[in-house]
Structure 1
Amino acid sequence: MANAETNALVGLRKLLPKELFYNTDMDMLGAECEEIRIRAGRNVRFVLRGGEIAGSAVATPKLCRDVLEGLSEHSAPAIENELKEGFFTARGGCRVGVCGQMYTKNGLCERLWQISGFNIRIARQIKGCADRIIREVYSCGNAGGLLVLSIPGAGKTTLLRDAVRQLSDGGMSAAVADERGEIAACYMGAPTLDVGERTDVMDMCPKAEGIRKLVRSMSPRLIVTDEIGTREEADALLDAKNCGAIAIASAHATSVEDALRREHIRALMEGGCFTHAAIITRRADGARDIAIEKLTL
């Protein structure tokens, strides 16, 4: 596990200003770092599994500009649409949240400029983290869908990635609708993270459209996607189910009851898209627990 995380951080270090990591124990960061927080006028902070440490670098306006230039690989104008949504995905699948001064027109967000804050989430490949899911949900011949629930940053994407890898390597034809490029972390069209031998990826395509295109063109037995958030996306998954595909997807919620308060998630459950839910919780020391529930709707 440490090696995979170290490799993700090594990739980021090649993109980020060197001064960000001055006087920092990189061996410790490689194994423990989950986020890098950069706030204008404040020390850079490295969020670890069980706490955080402050770096010596202070986020000046120049450092913030250099961070954006590095993470966008000197192509910030090309990600303007993502920036105004508040996040973009850097090479290697690391999701970067941003904030700052927003230019608005007629009440609509037009452009984010003067970026003053970054939340860089380290993408991790943790092989084996879905072992219990595979054992308890899929090893007995279950052909139903799985909904993964947690608060943001608890490990939904990491769990999805390992589940599709294991099912794909086990013989199931799979497809990933990877709208933000976080699951497979494709670079020049090819996954840089292991999502399985029998997995096709539609990268950076709007989720609902990506699901429909994959079902139509690649005929997968399994569809995997992250953070279902709209009725259009839910309808695409229901259409995929009606075409014979099963789904593994995630959503922000703390429980099944919490998820059911959202109309589009309720529609998916009532439509029989999911037979089980996996709820991830995070302990104070950063460790994760997974509770598996059989759905009865």
Structure 2
Amino acid sequence: MEELMRLIPDEYAAPIRARLCYDRISEVRVINRAPVRVCYDGAYYYLCKTGITRDKSAAFIAGEREAEGIVMRACEHSLYTVTETLKRGYISVSGGLRLGVCGSGVTNGQALTAVKDFSSVNIRLPHQIFGCAAGLCAKAVADGTVKNTLIISPPGAGKTTLLRDFCRLVSDRGYCVLLCDEKYEIAASAYGEPTLDVGCCTDVISGIDKTRVFETGIAHMRPDVIITDELFGADIESVRRAATCGISVVATVHAKNTDDVMLKPEFRAAAESGLFMLYAVISPAPRRAVTVFEEASI
């Protein structure tokens, strides 16, 4: 909680401390000159002096440069240290917080060189729910191996939380896990040490793109399993190479269900070739149930 309190104005922090349960908050959204919103138990409310409300007229209204203030506190007033991730739309903060950031791009020809005039931020809070992946783990781990598994959910439904717990469970069973934590939100490492529990046998590579992690990890770390968040079509070839090397891959993708995944050409080709053996679909909040499909049923 303290990292969130450091980022937001004291007037926002006071009702969160006094009135809200931190574990039920997944987002704090701030748009300049607009009502401040909180995602609480999977639903959006306005943040107000007494906590949360559906009444927009009671909400805190962000200042005209509120987003910039939050960004500057997130990077400890050193924008140059977060330039590369800002160009990709986010800032990672210790403790696993990630800020989605909107603003104006600065370009040099076709290249994006910086982001300025910050207009809004979405502070996303990680949560560790121990045991939430136990059912998936029971189906994915069999006969001494981990099945290639794709976790499917729309944004904000809990896929990273599920993936984190799966990583912990598999690692604590003694499998050598290589965790590609590209955006510092799964292990939330600070100074080389995970601040969230990802298991005792997990090697973590943070802040590096998936292609490079797959290449170097396979060559030098000898993992049994590679775990990574948010696959895109361009990443499928890296997954395929790992599979042909005898390494299992567990990853996530943004989609509502398996039908949506099959609309993505690279993922359809992966399914047709049997690359993933299990598909775990998370239903949206508030239910957030996990339904597991065998490859043959897709």
Asked whether 1:47 is paired with 2:39, we answer: yes
Partner of 2:268: 266
1:41 counterpart letter in structure 2: R
| Distance change in 2, residues 1:27/1:192 (3 Å) | farther
43-52 vs 266-275, which deviates more?
266-275
Kindly indicate whether the alpha-carbon contact (under 8 Å) linking 2:230 and 2:253 is maintained by their aligned counterparts in 1.
yes
| Distance change in 2, residues 1:161/1:287 (3 Å) | same
Partner of 2:292: 292
Asked whether 1:93 is paired with 2:85, we answer: no
Match of 1:84 among 75, 82, 87: 87
Deviation at 1:291, TM superposition (A): 0.9
How many residue pairs end up in the alignment? 286
Match of 1:241 among 233, 238, 243: 243
Unaligned runs of 5+ in 2: 50-59
Question: Could you tell me how far apart the structure 2 residues matched to 1:195 and 1:214 are?
Answer: 17
1:39-88, CA deviations, whole angstroms, 9 ceiling, x for partnerless residues? Answer: 10023222101532323543213432221111122222221222222222
Asked whether 1:32 is paired with 2:48, we answer: no
How much identity, in percent, do the aligned residues show? 31
Partner of 1:177: 180
* TM-score, scaled relative to structure 2: 0.89
Deviation at 1:259, TM superposition (A): 0.9
2:188 counterpart letter in structure 1: A
| Distance change in 2, residues 1:33/1:145 (3 Å) | same
1:90 counterpart letter in structure 2: V
Unaligned runs of 5+ in 1: 1-8
2:237 counterpart letter in structure 1: D
266-275 vs 247-256, which deviates more?
266-275
1:79-100, CA deviations, whole angstroms, 9 ceiling, x for partnerless residues? Answer: 1222222222221122211112
Question: Could you tell me how far apart the structure 2 residues matched to 1:188 and 1:103 are?
Answer: 30
Matches within 5 A, 1:1-297: 9-26=1-18, 28-51=20-43, 52-56=45-49, 57-106=60-109, 108-139=111-142, 143-231=146-234, 233-283=235-285, 286-296=286-296
Partner of 2:57: none
Question: Could you tell me how far apart the structure 2 residues matched to 1:252 and 1:71 are?
Answer: 26
Deviation at 1:162, TM superposition (A): 0.4
Question: Could you tell me how far apart the structure 2 residues matched to 1:24 and 1:88 are?
Answer: 22
Determine helix, strand or coil for the equivalent of 2:289: strand
Kindly indicate whether the alpha-carbon contact (under 8 Å) linking 2:187 and 2:196 is maintained by their aligned counterparts in 1.
yes
2:187 counterpart letter in structure 1: A
Q: Displaced runs of 4+ in structure 1, greater than 6 A?
A: none
Kindly indicate whether the alpha-carbon contact (under 8 Å) linking 2:16 and 2:22 is maintained by their aligned counterparts in 1.
no
* TM-score, scaled relative to structure 1: 0.89
2:201 counterpart letter in structure 1: R
1:269-296, CA deviations, whole angstroms, 9 ceiling, x for partnerless residues? Answer: 344331000001114xx23111100012
Question: Could you tell me how far apart the structure 1 residues matched to 2:15 and 2:240 are?
Answer: 51
Question: Could you tell me how far apart the structure 2 residues matched to 1:266 and 1:239 are?
Answer: 17
1:139-161, CA deviations, whole angstroms, 9 ceiling, x for partnerless residues? Answer: 56563211000111111111111
1:225-262, CA deviations, whole angstroms, 9 ceiling, x for partnerless residues? Answer: 0011132x211111111111101000111122211221
